[in-house]
């Protein structure tokens, strides 16, 4: 006959073990958060208050991103799409014209992504990989399907199969291969103008196995997730900050990271970016002159802070696309970064910053033009560039359109 006191003792021992594991994992997470944050704040790009304050906000955002990514449906068997980046969650040079969706998947089942194409001028659907890929010497991103590949029906709907093997009868270009390292799906929509913002209406289904209520969360699983979040936080924050600090060696000068990290680490799958760290006084403007490559089905430019975040794109002109830009007669473009309104087209706002980053994405092109930069007084911009003049009333109308497009993109 079993002694009930013995059963209680075994149960209590198991509880104590679980409690010890949970509390230690929580302490480790808090220590990683404290250490990573303190080091990042000590290395703020400038000694300006705005950069320090935005660093605190960036750390809160990154803590949220890493914990959500680690805990939510990490087996990838029953995915649903959520907003991955947005106005309240930014990193890695996020596109001010973009809508970023994500969901976990695995590399064994077959998933059907389906819905409406929407109005985005550029779409990419990308398979992300887990840490095992890096250990195997593979890039963190797998295959991708781009807007130029996607077959869409006459009614504006499409379906995209995400699976290890090509599905029978699937439309050409509408299959995204996965492998044993696959752990998530990224859907990026980049919109062309303020007037053309209709997001995709998307669903994703696992068609391999029937879906059932999820099993109970275990302490072992929660501990593993929290440790994974700590590792991600400790890697990502210094990586993005370090990239910005490195670019400070040559201010107001563009450089390229061709191949890695922009193509291989997710910044611009299918292309590359040219970036610069700018430094300006309030009465100065940075003129950026470049001729876009041809062919180039999509390009955009963005400005942001020293934490590699875009500026607040509901209130500031922090991005410009190939569909919005005013072109020069010879096909080149002249971009203007300044705190004060230069009274011309192609203005990107400094948004209360003396320093920041600027990045141009060239998508699916074989060439990589490097822009040339000149610093002039803001009052000289119109005369020295010949850009179309924008009156104060027209600028107010642009700001209203900017906010309206933002609200359409991020409506509940």
Model confidence at 170, pLDDT cuts 50, 70, 90, reads low
Per-residue model confidence (pLDDT) at position 215: 84
Q: Lowest-confidence range among 165-169, 338-342, 389-393?
A: 165-169
Average model confidence (pLDDT) across the chain: 91
User: From CA 172, how far away is CA 122, in angstroms rounded?
Assistant: 19
Residues 6+ apart with CB under 8 A from 61: 88, 89, 90, 91
- φ and ψ of 393, to 5 deg: -65, -40
Whole-number pLDDT of residue 261:
43
Report whether pLDDT(258) > 80: no
Residue 63's pLDDT is what?
A: 97
Q: Which residue has the higher pLDDT, 210 or 178?
A: 178
The answer to whether residue 37 scores a pLDDT higher than 70 is yes
Residue range 39-66: average pLDDT? Answer: 96
83 three-state secondary structure: strand
Cβ proximity of 378 and 285 under 8 Å: yes
Is pLDDT at 240 greater than 50 in this prediction? yes
List alpha helices for 308-391, DSSP H. 381-385
Q: Report the distance separating Cα 77 and Cα 183, nearest Å.
A: 10
Between CA 207 and CA 306 the distance in angstroms is: 43
Quick one: pLDDT at residue 214?
Answer: 79
- Tens of pLDDT, residue by residue over 208-221, are 988 778 788 999 99
Q: Comparing C-alpha atoms, which of 272, 266, 278 is closest to residue 239?
A: 266
Q: What is the pLDDT of residues 268-318, one digit of tens each?
A: 667 778 899 999 999 999 999 999 999 999 999 999 999 999 999 999 999
pLDDT at 172 over 90: no
Q: What is the pTM of this model?
A: 0.92
How far is residue 50's CA from residue 46's CA, in Å, rounded to a whole number?
A: 9
| Residue with token string 């196995």 | 209
Residue 247: its pLDDT value, please? 81
Mean pLDDT of 330-342: 98
Bridge partners for 327 per DSSP: 333
Question: In the structure, what pLDDT confidence band is assigned to residue 248 with cuts at 50, 70 and 90?
Answer: confident
């Amino acid at each position: 006959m079993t002694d009930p006191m013995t059963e209680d003792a075994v149960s209590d021992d198991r509880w104590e073990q679980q409690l010890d594991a949970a509390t230690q994992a929580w302490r480790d997470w808090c220590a990683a958060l404290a250490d990573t944050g303190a080091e990042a704040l000590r290395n703020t790009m400038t000694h300006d208050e705005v950069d320090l304050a935005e660093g605190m906000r960036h750390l809160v955002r990154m803590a949220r991103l890493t914990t959500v990514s680690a805990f939510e449906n990490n087996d990838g068997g029953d995915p649903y799409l959520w907003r991955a980046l947005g106005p309240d969650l930014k990193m890695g040079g996020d596109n001010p014209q973009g809508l970023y969706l994500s969901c976990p998947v695995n590399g064994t089942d077959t998933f059907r992504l389906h819905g409406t194409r929407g109005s985005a001028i550029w779409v990419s659907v990308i398979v992300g990989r887990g840490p095992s890929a890096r250990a195997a010497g593979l890039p963190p991103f797998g295959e991708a399907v781009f807007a130029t590949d996607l077959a869409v029906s006459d009614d504006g709907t499409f379906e995209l199969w995400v699976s290890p093997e090509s599905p029978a009868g699937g439309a050409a270009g509408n299959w995204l291969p996965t492998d044993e390292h696959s752990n998530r799906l990224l859907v990026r929509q980049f919109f062309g103008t303020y007037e053309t913002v209709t997001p995709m209406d998307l669903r994703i289904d696992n068609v391999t196995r029937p879906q059932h209520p999820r099993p109970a969360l275990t302490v072992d699983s929660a501990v593993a997730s929290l440790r994974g979040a700590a590792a991600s936080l400790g890697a990502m924050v210094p990586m993005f900050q370090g990239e910005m600090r490195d670019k400070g060696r040559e201010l107001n000068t563009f450089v390229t990271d061709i191949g890695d990290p922009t193509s291989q680490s997710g910044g611009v799958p299918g292309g590359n970016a040219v970036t610069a760290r700018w430094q300006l006084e309030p009465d100065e403007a940075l003129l950026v002159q470049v001729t876009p490559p041809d062919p180039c089905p999509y390009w955009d430019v963005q400005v942001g802070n020293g934490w590699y975040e875009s500026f607040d794109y509901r209130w500031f002109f922090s991005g410009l696309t190939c569909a919005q830009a005013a072109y020069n007669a010879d096909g080149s473009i002249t971009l203007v970064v300044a705190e004060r309104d230069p009274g011309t087209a192609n203005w990107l706002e400094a948004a209360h910053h003396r320093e920041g980053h600027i990045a141009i994405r060239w998508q699916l092109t074989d060439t990589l033009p490097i822009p040339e930069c000149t610093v002039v007084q803001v009052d000289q911009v119109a005369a020295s560039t010949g850009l179309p003049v924008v009156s104060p009333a027209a600028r107010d109308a642009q700001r209203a359109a900017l906010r309206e497009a933002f609200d359409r993109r991020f409506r509940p």
